[in-house]
């Protein structure tokens, strides 16, 4: 088992734990608040804080930062790498603080503006969004440092604590859900939990607590790798300039991604029936579980290695690493998306929405699942460009994706409601992934040589679908959720013989 495989498995295990905790949190939230105007406001309030994190210290910088840190570690040693890390971290923290302050000041206008976050909400709901967004900005400030710490540790090929940090965040938010928000204490066996009765505000304070834990759990990793903070920035520093050259286009890319994932969907959904924004959140959550377990785990583990391969000009190894990752992702995501779509109804039922809300979430999730393979392939394709410190190609590809999504979302939402927004997302991101892979294959011939992988995956999907359909049609004296889980497990086992070559490739990544 290679170090990439071990890293991917470590990440996948802890992502799985995080998703389990996150799913538990979402079930409790759903049962407390339902598809309500209050919960719509909470989800909309995350928009701009999430944007800041994505642009500055999350998706924008982490992926752009790791190849540069890996190069410094390889060529100049760890002390010089940490010096560069400190300078960039100081710059990012200041930028995040200034931007967060501006958003907090103008929050009311940003929410109610016709092109703003939630123009379709009534005045009281907009006021709630404003209050919650200001609270969430505190968490964003903490995440601005945590995102960089993740990049620093992963550049050192350390993946355990960054993966564990996700679960620590969920523990903080669970405290918000179980203790801060409820008006009546939850009963766990003989223990009655305290209840602070803060309602939807309790979720926001839980987010802040989760952000604190997310950062604190990673500090031992910094100490282990002898991190030393330098109170400097110096924009003329060659390493800082190198990071900024890659980060600039990456910020543009993440801005377009933000528009597609949050701003445009929520703006459109705020004009649809109550609960539409929350349906998008839950539908996305269902698709994100397998996407992060497969695509994010493999992509995260792969990036430091392919960055080193590019730095050493090992083009053949670079191509082989990407080819194996693509075949594994296709073999895993296509059957998984089909199986989850088939058994999804009992899974959504645990949220205890009303019948209309349940149908809304089911079809929104199914639409998102159409793009599971595309989102996962994009995790690899985008990182392949950043490993080469080429951020311009993903930038214009994401701009094209944003335009495509906007047109499709406006059209489909009028035809099939909120599920149309999810379908537009699936098609737009899949198109972007295929375009980036096509261009990569022109530079690195052989990248897309998939052999008979797709043919075997198609047979696997057919066999699994038939088996699951038969199981679900049985009339048995067992709960529907248990039957769905059994059908999902047996469907997965039916897939394995067809994709066994890719399973062995995963071990050899």
**pLDDT tens digits for range 155-176:** 787 888 887 888 888 899 899 9
Confidence of residue 117 (pLDDT cuts 50, 70, 90): confident
State how far the Cα of 489 lies from the Cα of 419, in Å rounded to an integer: 27
Closest CA to 255 of 395, 444, 149: 395
Whole-number pLDDT of residue 25 = 84
Helix 276-291 crosses helix 372-387 at what angle (to 10 degrees)? 60
Whole-number pLDDT of residue 499 = 95
State how far the Cα of 231 lies from the Cα of 235, in Å rounded to an integer: 13
Contact (CB, 8 A) for 380 and 299: yes
Does position 57 have pLDDT exceeding 60, yes or no? no
Alpha-helical (H) ranges within 388-417 are 392-416
Closest CA to 25 of 300, 446, 350: 350
CB contact set of 19 (below 8 Å; sequence gap of 6+): 288, 289, 292, 293
Whole-number pLDDT of residue 21 = 82
Confidence of residue 330 (pLDDT cuts 50, 70, 90): very high
Does position 275 have pLDDT exceeding 90, yes or no? no
Whole-number pLDDT of residue 54 = 61
Give the gyration radius of the chain's Cα atoms. Answer: 22
Output 506 or 197, whichever has higher pLDDT: 197
Whole-number pLDDT of residue 131 = 92
Does position 114 have pLDDT exceeding 70, yes or no? no
Contact (CB, 8 A) for 286 and 431: no
Whole-number pLDDT of residue 60 = 55
Does position 12 have pLDDT exceeding 90, yes or no? no
| Mean pLDDT for the stretch of residues 485-506 | 93
| Mean pLDDT for the stretch of residues 177-201 | 88
| pLDDT per residue as tens digits for the range 410-454 | 999 999 999 999 999 999 999 999 999 999 999 999 999 999 999
C-alpha triplet 123, 274, 197: angle, nearest 5°: 70
Does position 503 have pLDDT exceeding 70, yes or no? yes
Whole-number pLDDT of residue 198 = 93
Closest CA to 390 of 323, 306, 325, 321: 306
Whole-number pLDDT of residue 414 = 94
Whole-number pLDDT of residue 128 = 92
Mean pLDDT comparison of 31-40, 107-116, 314-323, highest-scoring range = 314-323
């Amino acid at each position: 088992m290679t170090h990439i495989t071990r890293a991917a498995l470590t990440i996948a295990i802890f992502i799985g734990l995080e998703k389990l905790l996150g799913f538990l949190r979402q079930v409790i939230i759903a049962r407390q608040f339902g598809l309500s105007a209050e919960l719509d406001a909470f989800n909309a309030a995350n928009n701009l804080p999430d944007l800041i994190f994505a642009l500055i210290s999350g998706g924008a910088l982490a992926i752009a930062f790791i190849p540069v840190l890996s190069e410094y570690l390889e060529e100049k040693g760890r002390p010089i790498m940490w010096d560069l890390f400190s300078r960039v971290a100081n710059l990012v923290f200041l930028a995040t603080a200034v931007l967060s302050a501006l958003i907090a000041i103008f929050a009311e206008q940003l929410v109610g503006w016709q092109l703003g976050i939630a123009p379709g909400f009534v005045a009281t709901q907009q006021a709630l969004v404003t209050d919650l967004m200001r609270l969430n900005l505190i968490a964003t400030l903490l995440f601005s440092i945590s995102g960089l710490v993740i990049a620093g540790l992963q550049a050192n090929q350390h993946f355990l604590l960054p993966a564990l940090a996700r679960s620590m965040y969920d523990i903080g938010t669970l405290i918000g859900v179980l203790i801060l928000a409820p008006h009546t204490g939850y009963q766990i066996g003989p223990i009655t939990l305290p209840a602070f009765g803060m309602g939807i505000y309790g979720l926001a304070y839980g987010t802040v607590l989760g952000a604190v834990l997310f950062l604190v759990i990673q500090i031992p990793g910094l100490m282990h790798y002898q991190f030393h903070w330098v109170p400097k920035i110096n924009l003329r520093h060659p390493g800082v300039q190198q990071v900024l050259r890659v980060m600039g286009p990456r910020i543009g890319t993440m801005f377009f991604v933000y528009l597609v994932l949050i701003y445009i969907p929520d703006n459109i959904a705020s004009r649809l029936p109550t609960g539409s924004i929350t349906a998008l959140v839950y539908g996305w959550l269902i698709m994100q579980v397998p996407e992060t377990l497969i695509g994010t785990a493999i992509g995260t583990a792969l990036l430091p290695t392919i960055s080193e391969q590019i730095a050493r000009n090992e083009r053949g190894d670079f191509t082989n690493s990407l080819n194996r990752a693509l075949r594994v992702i296709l073999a895993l995501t296509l059957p998984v998306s089909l199986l989850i779509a088939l058994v999804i109804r009992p899974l959504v039922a645990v949220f205890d929405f009303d019948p209309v809300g349940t149908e809304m979430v089911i079809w929104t999730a199914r639409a998102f699942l159409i793009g599971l393979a595309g989102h996962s392939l994009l995790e690899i394709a985008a990182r392949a460009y950043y490993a080469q410190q080429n951020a311009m190609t993903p930038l214009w590809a994401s701009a094209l994706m944003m335009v495509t999504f906007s047109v499709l979302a406006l059209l489909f939402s009028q035809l099939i409601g909120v599920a149309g927004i999810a379908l537009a997302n699936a098609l737009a991101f899949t198109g972007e992934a295929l375009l980036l892979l096509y261009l990569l294959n022109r530079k690195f011939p052989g990248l897309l040589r998939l052999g008979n992988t797709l043919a075997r995956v198609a047979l696997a999907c057919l066999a699994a679908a038939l088996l699951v359909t038969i199981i679900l049609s049985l009339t048995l004296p067992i709960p529907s959720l248990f039957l769905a889980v059994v059908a999902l497990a047996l469907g997965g086992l039916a897939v394995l013989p067809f994709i066994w070559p890719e399973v062995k490739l995963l071990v050899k990544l």
